[in-house]
Amino acid sequence: MKFLKNEIILWDSPNGINLPGNCTIVDTIESSNKQLRISEQKQIVNAINNGLFNMSAEFIWNRTIAILKDKVMSLGTDFVLEMLDRNINDSPENISHNEFIVLASELGIINKLAKKKFLHANELINYYYSRDAEQEMDSYDMQTIIIPCFQYILGLDTQDFTLEFNNFRERLKLEMIVKGDELYELLLISPYFYRRTTVKTILNLTKNTDGGEFEIVLNNLVTLFDGFWDSLISDDRYLIGMSYSEAVSNGMKELSTGIRRVLLKNKGFDYVPENLRSQSFIEYAKNLKAAHFGLDNFYNEAKPAENLANMGTIPAPAISHCISAALVSKLGNSYGVARSAQNYINEILKSIPSNRWEYYFNTSFPLDGDVLYKLLTNGKELGNWISYINELFTGKELSLKDANTNRLIQATLSKNRTSVINGATKMYNNLGI
Amino acid sequence: MIFLERIYFKEVERVFCNINEKEQLNMSEDFIRNYIRVMPSFFNYQEEEKSIKPNIIFSKNIDELFKTTPKSLKIHMADGDVEGNDLKRNLKIILPFCNVGWSLYVDFKKDKLEYGIVRKFTGISGFSFVEEIFLTPSSYESTSFVSMTLVSRFELLYRGLRGTESIIDFRFHEESNSKKEIVLEDLTNTFLEKSIHNKDKKVVQAINKLFYLANEKSHGSIILIIDNDCSELPTNLFMDNGVLFNEPIDIVEKLYETVTTEIIGDLITSTEQYYGISGLLFEMINIDGITLLSNDGKVLGFNLFANANKNTNIKKVVGGARKRAYNSLLSSELECIAGVYFQSQDGDVEFKKAGEVFEK
């Protein structure tokens, strides 16, 4: 654990290497490369010197993402799928590059700046390789993609990747945490993202430990979930409720007893669903997001959007996931929106009643990194946001309790782009990821 | 002058009053008296000549408890007076539902009693309504809950949230009883010993639950588990009548398919298949004779009778028919036997693994 300025961080992320500011791209590659073979390095340099920017960027990007994936997946497939709210029988092949980048940042494999740069690079790569690309990649965009790859991944030796998150996970597994402990107190005051990660990590550990380790994890489950129940948003309470439902259905006595204690003490049975239908909705929402952030999104978003629209009334545990997915598609990216998906997206958004919008804006929106990220720059997404929110709020009285959200929405309704960007930046930075 | 001595089990009334006080049910004296009057009938309860095993819940504020057991259904059926004057009539109407998986509840309101049935739906390996409540017995302040189950033909078990765990035993002398849970666990473990799914917790849990239900539904049974490594059974081990399947029923594999299937259409089919086959197994176990299983999770036959002769090494032994069959199987020392399970009509259970000494 470290304290940097006034920011609490439970696990640290590598900040990459320092690259000289006034070198050519070829010099940068040749001086910083640690992961590519010499022959590969030479081929890349040749390609760049011959103006084959698409090819070199694609190769570097794919190699970088492959290494990043490996690092994330080293924590275990089940764990990764659960962190991404995916069904544990889903294939890791279905996880998008976008999801890997965001998760890598959340787990401290890359820092926040690296995440921003990689997300932008991902968007560029997807655009240039889509059927709608109107031009060849230029040198500037090629460097925008390649430089962060070397700075944060390809310029690091394998031993430079210390996964500090693993230490945290080990503590949850091996150390009996009690109320008043340093770690307990830290989690209570740290950014929300840490509590959410702790909930998911502990629930995952209950499935992957036994004997003495399981007893410790169970103790920590009761202590920590009880401790921060009040501060958990509904989505994460539903996660605990669904885990209880699963444990009871599988006859897992100790786990059922542990979670039941937490639910009884906190009157949390409203968050135990009567059925697990909401998991199907969450899966479809995830598929839509994956299509949006993946290759050829303008063509690939329509089908998952249609599937989600055809699912019918969205149950409460899935509402945030579905709204978030629909919004990212509605806002589009810096190249536009997937027009073929918009009819379905509009259908989904129209079907959401006012009380559910209120719930989303008051509890989930402040934590919705995917939507907030789209409002950080003065691009097409921002324009689409202003247009849609003005349409949504016309004739609607939504009670917004979160001050930051309220300010951002007011700025949106006033069409004040600068204020929206500032508000979104502040909220995004509060996420701590 | 001859005086006729009449002996009552008044101790039962005292015990029940203690339960009422400890568990804070606030039953009236009249209700307790009316209840004690009907209690003896539970040991051999019948409606329309059909045997019923009562499963009753006494509660205060059952709606609060119901909220903490999702996927449950509660059906309110009747209201009664707090003295229980209509207790017998209401039980007569509602108790038959106990035979199809429901528990009867009597909820003590301020000025009336609410009668109904309650059940939890959790599939093959999940907890029942009562089991789920008892996961955290010390967590309830404003509610009361006592469950009554018929453990055997002579025993009624009362369990309460505030620590009651009493068996009202109507026999005249002390009997040492094998703990049912341990016996059924041994039976489960032996049945799955050589199954490829014996490490799967869901499968083990579900099979254990299956044997538990079979025990509740049965009026006496013998289950013989043989080792699947045996090349063949001794000639004429069983008499000619009875059923030996040409193709054994792989019930554990069906169960495994059900607990691991993700595709909804397949899940519905495999669940229906599993419930169908397990229903057959309940009936087989309940039919006269030995039910034959193998220790890799298969059903081999039923309605079988051991043949006492030189080849089988089965000796003639004294005792009741079922007990005789059980003891003679144990004493046979046949190598193919992995274990033998016995349930008497009174509900006593025993399980002996191969090699355990036969006791008279």
- Hey, are the CB atoms on B71 and A251 less than 8 Å from each other? no
pLDDT at A5: 41
Please tell me the predicted confidence (pLDDT) of residue B230.
79
Name residues whose C-beta falls within 8 Å of residue B43's C-beta, 6 or more positions apart in sequence. Answer: B150, B153, B154, B156, B170
Q: What is the pLDDT of residues A186-206, one digit of tens each?
A: 888 888 888 888 999 999 999
Residue of chain A whose Cα is closest to the Cα of B261: A89
* Helix, strand or coil, per DSSP, at residue A182: helix
> Any CB–CB contact under 8 A between A394 and chain B?
no
Q: What is the pLDDT of residues B26-63, one digit of tens each?
A: 899 999 999 998 888 887 787 777 788 889 999 999 99
Task: Check whether A3 has a pLDDT greater than 50.
Answer: no
What are the tens digits of pLDDT across the range B170-199?
Answer: 877 776 666 888 899 999 999 999 999 998
Contact yes or no for A251 and B67 at CB 8 A:
no
DSSP string, B247-311: EEE-HHHHHHHHHH--SHHHHHHHHHHHHHHHHHHHHHHHSSSEEEEETTTEEEEEEE-B--STT
- Here the tokens at position A202 are 């502990």
d(CA A316, CA A295): 31
Confidence of residue A59 (pLDDT cuts 50, 70, 90): very high
Which residues have C-beta within 8 Å of that of residue B182, sequence separation ≥ 6? Answer: none
| Nearest one of A88, A38, A91 to A69, comparing CA atoms | A91
Distance set, CA A163 to CA A75, A104, A160, A169, A170 (Å): 9, 10, 9, 10, 11
Cα separation, A299 vs A334, whole angstroms = 16
pLDDT of residue B358 exceeding 50, the answer is no
Task: Tell which wins on pLDDT, A116 or B154.
Answer: A116
Whether the pLDDT of residue A2 is over 50: the answer is: no
Q: Which two tokens stand for residue A416?
A: 């004040």
Please report which confidence band the pLDDT of residue B235 belongs to, taking 50, 70 and 90 as the band edges.
Answer: low
**Taking a C-beta distance cutoff of 8 angstroms, is the pair B36, B158 a contact?**
no
- Higher pLDDT, residue A14 or B138: B138
Q: Which residues of B touch A245 (CB under 8 A)?
A: 70-71
pLDDT (0 to 100) of residue A1: 44
Greater pLDDT, B67 or A327: A327
- A245/B71 CB distance under 8 A: yes
Q: Count A/B contacts: CB-CB distance under 8 Å.
A: 53
| Whole-number pLDDT of residue A48 | 93
Top residue of B71, B72, B256 to mutate, by most chain A CBs within 10 Å, is B71
CB contact under 8 A, A269 and B136: no
Nearest 5°: the CA angle B328, B169, B340 is 20
What the block records as the tokens of B186 is 């041994």
Q: Does A274 touch chain B (CB under 8 A)?
A: yes
Task: Look over chain B and give the mean of its residue pLDDT values, rounded to a whole number.
Answer: 84
Closest CA to B259 of B277, B276, B274: B274
Looking at A252-266, A321-335, B46-60, B307-321, which range is the least confident one?
A: B307-321
A3-17, B221-235, B289-303, B336-350 — most confident range: B289-303
CA distances from A339 to A134, A184, A284, A309 (A): 17, 48, 19, 15
- Identify the residue with better confidence: A87 or B138: B138
Give the tens place of pLDDT for each residue, A402-414: 899 999 999 999 9
Task: Suggest the residue from A206, A226, A250 to mutate for an interface test with chain B (most B CBs closer than 10 A).
Answer: A250
Answer yes or no: do B71 and A275 touch at CB < 8 A.
Answer: yes
| Residue A158 scores a pLDDT above 70 | no
Closest alpha carbon to B211 in B281, B115, B162: B281
Query: A215-229, A257-271, B197-211: which has the minimum mean pLDDT?
Result: B197-211
CB contact under 8 A, A274 and B71: yes
Three-class SS string for B293-358?
Answer: EECCCEEEEEEECECCCCCCCCCCCCCCHHHHHHHHHHHHCCCCEEEEEEECCCCCEEEEECCCCC
Chain A nearest-CA distance from B265, in A, is 15
Can you tell me the distance from the alpha carbon of A342 to that of A292, in angstroms, rounded to the nearest whole number? 12
Higher pLDDT, A340 or A109: A340
Say whether residue A88 is in contact with chain B using an 8 A CB cutoff.
no
Quick check: B278 pLDDT over 90? Answer: no
Of B126, B201, B262, the CB nearest to A248: B126
Instruction: Round the average pLDDT of chain A to a whole number and report it.
Output: 88
Q: Percent of chain A beyond pLDDT 70?
A: 95
User: Cα separation of A163 and A293, whole Å?
Assistant: 26
For residue A185, pLDDT beyond 60: yes
pLDDT of residue B360: 40
pLDDT for residue A386 is more than 70: yes
Distance from CA of B204 to the nearest CA of A (A): 10
* Three-point CA angle B101, B106, B108, nearest 5°: 155
Q: What is the pLDDT of residue B8?
A: 73
> Of A370, A373, A292, A289, nearest to A336 (Cα)?
A292
Backbone phi and psi for residue A38, each to the nearest 5 degrees, phi listed first: -60, -40
pLDDT band at A157 (very low <50, low <70, confident <90, very high): confident
Q: Which of B122, B132, B139 sits opposite A261 (nearest CB)?
A: B139
Which segment of A356-360, B233-237, B350-354 scores lowest on mean pLDDT? B233-237
Q: Which helix (H) or strand (E) element contains residue A3?
A: strand A2-4
Highest-confidence segment of A320-334, B213-227, B319-333, B346-360: A320-334
DSSP A361: I
pLDDT at A154: 92
For A195, the enclosing helix (H) or strand (E) is helix A192-208
Q: Is A260 on the interface with B (CB under 8 A)?
A: yes
Q: What percent of chain B clears pLDDT 70, i.e. is strictly above it?
A: 90
Using 50, 70 and 90 to split pLDDT, how confident is the model at B24? very high
What pLDDT shows up at residue A91? 84
- Local confidence band at B312 (pLDDT 50, 70, 90 cut-offs): low
Looking at residue A422, its pLDDT comes to 95
Q: Is the pLDDT of residue A427 over 50?
A: yes
Beta strand pairing status for B290-294 and B221-226?
parallel
Q: By CA distance, what is B259's nearest residue in A?
A: A250
